[in-house]
Amino acid sequence: MEYTHLGRSGVSVSRICLGTMNFGSYTEPADAHTIMNYALEHGVNFFDTANTYGRPRAEGVTESIIGDWFAGAPGRRDKVVLATKLYGGKGDWPNDRFLSALNIRQACEASLRRLQTDHIDLYQMHHVDRQTSWAEIWEALSVLRAQGKVIYFGSSNFAGWHIAQAQEAARRHGAFGIVSEQSLYNLAERTVELEVLPACQGYGLGVLPWSPLHGGLLGGILARQAAGGAADPTADSGRSGGGRAAEMIGDRREQVAAYEAFCAELGTPPAEVALAWLLHQPAVTAPIAGPRTLDQFEHALRAATIKLDEKALSRLDEIFPGPGGAAPEAYAW
């Protein structure tokens, strides 16, 4: 396994991040523990979760599964760069969600209890909160860091200008700021190339793409249908919602057919090519592979060994053209 720094931070993370959204929703705890064991055995030291993952939603089920795994053997926690998120809640009470100082404190304490750890390595804002000032947010986050409960902070689903807002507010507060951004990014969805990726590169953030297979669209759906099998929910199906690939294939059948044919020429499964393409993008630190099964995670890890030459990358750009580069040159002179 190769490692790289998480953005401008000094911490080293594996080039594949184990996403755990399916744990407790589609993957039983025992199977989830097997996947996490396999991840460590193969050098994956970067795990991502959130306080809303699992079923029932927003009750911390996935975090509890990970916490039980940590408690199952000494040393596991120290080997993992652990990332979780806050923002969402059950919505039963007005202050159990978003990014108020009150919820930041309460959400962090609850995640620490469920994860059975004394600190979170990367604490991520799952969405931007337009109703809470950055002064309040950074003051609350800085308290967590001073207490030793959080080491680094990140964002998820931020626009480019939100990243700039966050970083400039952190500068005014004397804080280190965010070190990573989780965005929807894959061959079929490249909007972030306009402004989010340039903002991340400009501010030294590592990019953690979620839904690298676009809900299964890039996971060989046509080949499975031709073989008479139902579309298998692939590694990021839980994050994108079941059935999304089947819904999208009508509009993109010709494009996906060309993609799968090219993957066949390469002799590499489509899901692995999709992950490998992300690993060739300069802003990307680690795609988030969210398996339901061990077999899916094994395929994801193989992607880290695939090298795509310039000819292959150019062909993928032809099949799935992006927005034309960064703004404003993508749409202006």
Mind listing the pLDDT tens digit for each residue in 314-331?
999 999 999 999 999 999
What amino acid is encoded at 204 in this protein? G
The pLDDT of residue 92: 82
Conformation bin of residue 46: beta by default, left when phi > 0, alpha when psi is -120 to 50: beta
Residues 6 or more apart whose Cβ sits within 8 Å of residue 138: 169, 170, 173, 175
Query: CATH number for the domain including 61?
Result: 3.20.20.100
**Would you say residue 172 has pLDDT above 70?**
yes
Q: Cα separation of 192 and 182, whole Å?
A: 11
Q: Is the peptide bond before 94 cis (omega within 30 degrees of 0)?
A: no
In a domain, 147, yes or no: yes
Average pLDDT, integer, range 59-71: 97
Mind listing the pLDDT tens digit for each residue in 216-264?
999 999 998 888 764 444 445 554 444 567 677 888 999 999 999 999 9
How many structural domains is the chain composed of? Answer: 1
Confidence of residue 90 (pLDDT cuts 50, 70, 90): confident
Contact between residue 206 and residue 199 where contact means Cβ atoms under 8 Å apart: no
3-state DSSP call for residue 129?
A: coil
In a domain, 290, yes or no: yes
Arithmetic mean of pLDDT over the chain = 94
Average pLDDT, integer, range 5-20: 98
Catalytic positions: 53
- The CA angle 10-12-16, to the nearest 5 degrees, is 145
In a domain, 333, yes or no: no
3-state DSSP call for residue 120?
A: strand
Q: Cα separation of 232 and 227, whole Å?
A: 12
The pLDDT of residue 228: 74
Q: Cα separation of 111 and 117, whole Å?
A: 9
Euclidean distance between the first and final Cα of the chain, in Å? 41
Average pLDDT, integer, range 136-157: 98
160: tokens are 């480019």
Residues 6 or more apart whose Cβ sits within 8 Å of residue 6: 12, 13, 81, 122, 152, 179, 180, 206, 285
The pLDDT of residue 307: 97
CA-based torsion, 321, 325, 211, 133: positive or negative: negative
Mind listing the pLDDT tens digit for each residue in 100-112?
999 999 999 999 9
Confidence of residue 11 (pLDDT cuts 50, 70, 90): very high
- Percentage of the residues of the chain whose pLDDT score is greater than 90: 89
Q: Which domain holds residue 294?
A: 3-319
Mind listing the pLDDT tens digit for each residue in 13-52?
999 999 999 999 999 999 999 999 999 999 999 999 999 9
- Percentage of the residues of the chain whose pLDDT score is greater than 70: 95
The pLDDT of residue 234: 43
Q: Where are the beta strands (DSSP E) in 157-313?
A: 178-184, 206-210, 288-289
Contact between residue 232 and residue 224 where contact means Cβ atoms under 8 Å apart: yes
In a domain, 207, yes or no: yes
Predicted TM-score (pTM) of the model is: 0.94
Q: How far is CA 243 from CA 178, 214, 227, 232, 247, in A?
A: 34, 11, 18, 9, 6
Average pLDDT, integer, range 268-281: 98
In a domain, 304, yes or no: yes
The pLDDT of residue 297: 97
Q: Cα separation of 110 and 135, whole Å?
A: 23
The pLDDT of residue 242: 47
Comparison of pLDDT for 137 and 225, the residue scoring more: 137
The pLDDT of residue 244: 64
**Would you say residue 278 has pLDDT above 90?**
yes
In a domain, 329, yes or no: no
In a domain, 236, yes or no: yes
